[in-house]
Structure 1
């Protein structure tokens, strides 16, 4: 990243998840499956499920509060809030609800939708505002409540998804201290049919010869085999391109932080990059696939347990519906 007016530091992380846990054994009472079947294919044992009264904005705000506390700044000091989500409480967006809940009265807030790639896309988006000097303090959030949109009688998808939120504070610093080393983002709409959550409507009369579509969004639809093949092929490639932009080699990485979609995908990507299994950040057994929340949720766990420390080089990569995929290379810390 040459000729930048400001560098970027990562100064705080936070996460939040619903209290209620749905384990594999309990899920097998709903659909024909088993703990062994789910865990051997995905690495998952539990997932968190938001109750009817819990909102995405509440989860995101709690994660944000914890990130701000670690960063040592107040909500009033925020200039920008970016909420990566595909499941807002309000179809018009939930970032402003988070802004209100936090009391971030000076911050502009908006939603960003890129499904499971959302947090990485959000990091790249927020970085542009910070690098140009437009803003100095940003709260980047990834949050999803996918339990609202799962067909709980479809065992191909219902075993995968859970709810949660994660956050990172990004702050502008002098260029010499820049921690965001490079990124690469990609999209391919020809593969949209392999993973989507589409609107289905029926024609209704309006006036005269005019009609309109009345309906709702259907449940998550996914071709797991195709998504797996796509991820194993494309994710190592996009990480390699981001590493090239960062002028780093894979062996210089401390951690591989992938979207927590499937443990087998994470292991396969690590093998492609010749990284050791112990370098793969994973909390998938406890949370499942939380979409845009999965990367910051896992990162926060490793930061708070002291595994990720300031200066560690991390390759983060998201991939999912769209299809979209992207990677960012950064060093944790101020």
Structure 2
């Protein structure tokens, strides 16, 4: 298997799916001539032409509206919202139309729409280009929400998302773009809704989302030197969520810490805490801990280092739950 980075895994997935199915097309701001943000659609215009790779006006609502209509008519649009922060401008189309159409028409209409968007901090670009808003979409019936943490997963999950008959919100973390992992040359997909145990352990479960998977792995390595055996779980998708995998891990370790980049209130960690409280409460030997960004807008520049979750904060949380605190 070749070692490729997260960026090229996305491009390869788009290329392969466009080659496999002529109904797949890509639209968004600067996806054609410029090759997209971070070059993620580079080369697609030359290969597939401007009918299937098309730049749009600077209007997220229009981009999403075209995507919903085309999907309902039988095509398979992959729309790009350049930064997740801009997705608020398309909320009506995504939440009130794409998510509800199949239900509203009794299953007679499918909306095979993929909404790709760049999420997360790490580039010091401030509060309008750094948010992770996955929980907002996980709350909406009819939407699937995917958040891959590595090149292998991003390719396999994007291919699954494009083949899925329902709308998928697909988060791509900016800070992971250069991260490499082994990716097979042959066609493969990863089922949406299936998480992964990245590292097995017996002392404490750490559920990590997106880029935080790598923070968790670094913390686990540091804690191993202290004799603490951490199990790291990457859900990969938050809707549907692989609840059983998380519950079984907590039954084994009796302790859990959740780390994610979004804010704590009403976030992904809150849902995991509720899940464990409902299904594995009596297995717990310590309170559930969350490690998240501070509840303030992310500042421009180095100030984001104070706000975002870190390896050190996660290590402190793990040590606290091992003390029963």
The answer to whether the superposition gives a TM-score over 0.5 is no
More strand by share: 1
TM-score when normalising by structure 1:
0.28
Structure with larger RCO (C-alpha < 8 A, sep 6+): 1
